[in-house]
């Protein structure tokens, strides 16, 4: 890992192609990739139809005229216009056809698009919001541009097969667990897994074998999972005459903490156990010398990535990658068909193809600017005595922390993360990715610019100067952390989900069996899981973070005056 020094230059020079700063941040792809057509009118008219027939005029991308020659079929090779990615090319060609459309969706290629939204985003997204037309392929049985786009993604990310997801990483995690765990089989996973892993156990009937993650009290942050913890869980099951159907880990965590996936995968494969990695926050891994290797590069069997997080696809679009042959591909196909919509958004699908193509253009240098800005910000903040910056030394059991995650602690100022975030947003317009009890996490990405980093640094410097002089350090911040280490499971998640339930006050719930999944959001990590006995520590923690401003997700009463519990005889 490169150690930033004051002598490192982060200046931008648009005339120098090797400069760390890339000026055209707006697209970050080759500027010839996309040139939008003129915005079309909201209604049809005799003067101009929604998609004009060929007239010999150049009205399309890269000087190619739009004509009926662009019409594709699902069984013919994809026509790529000016080097466009295959699914983007197919979507463009289909939208430009001069057709009489009698199909869904009801806005009819933008003709009836609601004016309130077109005033905001124009009609072009509606024009390209098309259904599963033959030339656009079928997500569940791809033979044309979707298949080609997924093959290109598999090549880039190093998988044997890649699936595009329109239900986010959530549906990918659910499919991966359902494809590896049958009802009654054991799934080894960290207790602080994302709620999608819990819902996957409800869907699959898997029995959890929890690992309690390392916890750093100074930061009030959970770490990853160690190989020793995985081995211990496997051996405990073996001593009972049982075997894990799969191991599921999260790497990197929301804060960027990476587990030793390589050693964990070796351990799992020695026992023929598939390893699933929630790599939602690590789609960029493996594409720069300063970034950790990806989970696939470290031997994982299934990885699920949120392509929309650090990479540049549209929100809700993700990818599921498979390596090796431990997991049945056809079973994953069936699970995804069960979980995903039969009316997928081609805007989401095309955005995955476009994000892949964007990364493919210059994979070795595309992250230079973001990484340089992140290192510069960390170096600057480390010079402020009252501000803490999360580094690998805080979690020495783990090999790396994502350099594009900046986690800043404010407890030496006597401020919680929630309080500091409110000030930085109100006074400086700084919006973070994740707020915690003691810290705030900021996500750097391909669109991060120097002006915004300077605004962040200015805000934190001003906050430090103001509060270090008027408050006693640390006196306001409580050392309360998530109670992951006192789990009593009365029912498996699936049985608890279907059990009859009642509602009680939050204090009356102590000692009862939780009937709902309750977690502060972000980051979507459960504190109460259906089937577990509710402890006083869990209640105290939830009330504490709620009082500090955290949103509570999953609870029927987000104010936490009451909790749903199971009627257990």
Same domain for 349 and 371, yes or no, is no
Query: pLDDT higher for 479 or 234?
Result: 234
Does residue 344 lie in a domain region?
Answer: yes
Comparing C-alpha atoms, which of 429, 168, 187 is closest to residue 306?
A: 168
Does residue 59 lie in a domain region?
Answer: no
Same domain for 214 and 268, yes or no, is yes
d(CA 127, CA 444): 32
What pLDDT does residue 220 have? 84
For residue 424, pLDDT over 80 is answered with: yes
CATH code of the domain covering residue 344: 3.40.640.10
Return the DSSP state at 528: B
For residue 209, pLDDT over 90 is answered with: yes
Whether residue 398 contacts residue 224, with contact meaning beta carbons closer than 8 Å, is answered with: yes
Q: What is the average pLDDT across 209-236?
A: 91
pLDDT band at 492 (very low <50, low <70, confident <90, very high): very high
pLDDT band at 568 (very low <50, low <70, confident <90, very high): confident
Q: How far is CA 214 from CA 220, 390, 485, in A?
A: 11, 15, 10
Does residue 235 lie in a domain region?
Answer: yes
d(CA 367, CA 21): 10
Q: Which domain holds residue 426?
A: 367-468
Specify the 3-state DSSP secondary structure of 541: helix
Same domain for 300 and 197, yes or no, is yes
d(CA 543, CA 550): 10
CATH code of the domain covering residue 508: 3.90.100.10
Q: What is the average pLDDT across 557-561?
A: 89
Same domain for 402 and 537, yes or no, is no
Supply the Cα-derived Rg of the chain in whole angstroms.
Answer: 25
Q: What share of the chain is helix, strand, coil (3-state, %, to 5)?
A: 35, 15, 55
Whether residue 317 contacts residue 164, with contact meaning beta carbons closer than 8 Å, is answered with: yes
Q: What is the average pLDDT across 357-366?
A: 93
Same domain for 152 and 283, yes or no, is yes
Q: What is the average pLDDT across 446-470?
A: 93
Same domain for 272 and 165, yes or no, is yes
What pLDDT does residue 82 have? 66
Number of neighbouring beta carbons within 10 Å of residue 507? 11
What pLDDT digit, counting tens, does each position of 14-60 carry?
A: 333 333 333 333 333 333 333 333 333 333 333 223 333 333 333 33
What pLDDT digit, counting tens, does each position of 67-78 carry?
A: 333 333 333 334
Q: How far is CA 390 from CA 127, 219, 281, 396, 407, in A?
A: 45, 8, 17, 12, 5
Does residue 562 lie in a domain region?
Answer: yes
For residue 245, pLDDT over 70 is answered with: yes
Query: pLDDT higher for 421 or 555?
Result: 421
Q: What is the average pLDDT across 141-146?
A: 96
Which of 327, 361, 395 delimits the end of a domain?
361
pLDDT band at 475 (very low <50, low <70, confident <90, very high): very low
Same domain for 323 and 392, yes or no, is no
Q: What is the mean pLDDT of the chain?
A: 84
Name the percent of the chain lying above pLDDT 70: 82
Q: Which H or E element spans position 451?
A: helix 450-467
* Least confident piece of the model among 77-81, 142-146, 271-275: 77-81
Return the DSSP state at 489: B
Same domain for 374 and 355, yes or no, is no
Counted domains in the chain: 3
Does residue 53 lie in a domain region?
Answer: no
Same domain for 373 and 425, yes or no, is yes
Does residue 34 lie in a domain region?
Answer: no
What pLDDT does residue 54 have? 35
Does residue 191 lie in a domain region?
Answer: yes
Q: What is the average pLDDT across 145-154?
A: 98
Same domain for 179 and 245, yes or no, is yes
Does residue 395 lie in a domain region?
Answer: yes
* Least confident piece of the model among 280-294, 359-373, 488-502, 531-545: 531-545
Same domain for 235 and 155, yes or no, is yes
Which of 314, 344, 361 delimits the end of a domain?
361
Its pTM stands at: 0.83
Same domain for 170 and 276, yes or no, is yes
pLDDT band at 520 (very low <50, low <70, confident <90, very high): confident
Which of 341, 361, 381 delimits the end of a domain?
361
d(CA 405, CA 393): 15
Residue-wise DSSP of 194-208: -HHHHHHHHHH-PEE
Q: What is the average pLDDT across 483-503?
A: 88
> For residue 314, which phi and psi values (nearest 5 degrees)?
-75, 150
Task: Tokens for 207, please give them.
Answer: 């029995």
């Amino acid at each position: 890992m490169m150690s930033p020094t004051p002598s490192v230059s982060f200046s931008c020079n648009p005339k120098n192609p090797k400069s760390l700063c890339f000026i055209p941040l707006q697209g970050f792809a080759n500027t010839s990739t996309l040139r939008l057509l003129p915005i079309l009118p909201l209604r049809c008219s005799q003067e101009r139809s929604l998609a004009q027939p060929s007239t010999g005029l150049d009205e399309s991308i890269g000087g190619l005229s739009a004509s009926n020659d662009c019409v594709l079929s699902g069984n013919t090779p994809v026509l790529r216009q000016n080097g466009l990615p295959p699914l983007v090319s197919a979507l463009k060609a289909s939208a430009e056809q001069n057709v009489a459309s009698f199909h869904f969706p009801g806005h009819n290629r933008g003709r009836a698009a609601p004016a309130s939204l077109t005033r905001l985003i124009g009609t072009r997204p509606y024009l390209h919001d098309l259904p599963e037309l033959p030339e656009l392929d079928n997500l569940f049985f791809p033979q044309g541009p979707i298949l080609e786009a997924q093959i290109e993604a598999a090549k880039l990310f190093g998988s044997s097969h890649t699936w595009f997801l329109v239900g986010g990483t959530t549906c990918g995690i659910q499919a991966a667990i359902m494809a590896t765990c049958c009802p009654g089989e054991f799934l080894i996973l960290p207790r602080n897994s994302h709620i999608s892993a819990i819902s996957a156990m409800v869907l699959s009937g898997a029995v959890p074998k929890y690992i309690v993650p390392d916890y750093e009290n100074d930061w009030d942050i959970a770490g990853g999972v160690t190989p020793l913890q995985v081995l211990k869980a496997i051996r405990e099951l073996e001593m009972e005459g049982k075997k894990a159907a799969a191991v599921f880990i999260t790497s990197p965590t929301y804060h960027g903490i990476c587990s030793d996936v390589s050693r964990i995968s070796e351990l799992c494969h020695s026992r023929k156990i598939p390893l699933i990695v929630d790599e939602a926050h690590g789609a960029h891994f493996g594409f720069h010398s300063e970034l950790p290797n990806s989970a696939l590069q470290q031997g994982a069997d299934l990885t699920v990535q949120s392509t929309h997080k650090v990479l540049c696809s549209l929100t809700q679009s993700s990818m599921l990658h498979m390596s090796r042959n431990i997991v049945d591909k056809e079973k994953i196909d069936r699970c995804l068909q069960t979980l995903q919509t039969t009316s997928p958004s081609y805007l989401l699908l095309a955005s995955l193809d476009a994000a892949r193509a964007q990364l493919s253009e210059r994979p070795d240098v595309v992250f230079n600017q973001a990484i340089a800005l992140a290192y510069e910000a960390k170096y600057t903040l480390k010079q402020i005595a009252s501000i803490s910056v999360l580094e690998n030394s805080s979690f020495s059991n783990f090999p790396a922390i994502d350099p594009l995650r900046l986690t800043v602690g404010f407890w030496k100022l006597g401020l919680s993360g929630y309080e500091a975030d409110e000030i930085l947003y109100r006074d400086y317009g700084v919006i973070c990715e994740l707020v915690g009890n003691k810290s705030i996490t900021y996500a750097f990405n391909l669109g991060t610019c120097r002006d915004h980093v300077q605004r962040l640094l200015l805000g934190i410097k001003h906050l430090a100067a103001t509060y270090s002089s008027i408050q006693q350090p640390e006196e306001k911040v409580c050392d309360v952390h998530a109670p992951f280490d006192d789990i009593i499971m009365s029912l498996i998640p699936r049985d608890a989900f279907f059990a009859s339930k009642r509602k009680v006050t939050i204090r009356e719930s102590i000692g009862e069996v939780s009937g709902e999944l309750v977690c502060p959001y972000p980051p979507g990590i459960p504190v109460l899981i259906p089937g577990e006995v509710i402890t006083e520590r869990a209640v105290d923690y939830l009330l504490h973070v709620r009082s500090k401003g955290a949103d509570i997700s999953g609870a029927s009463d987000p104010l936490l005056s009451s909790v749903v519990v199971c009627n257990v005889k």
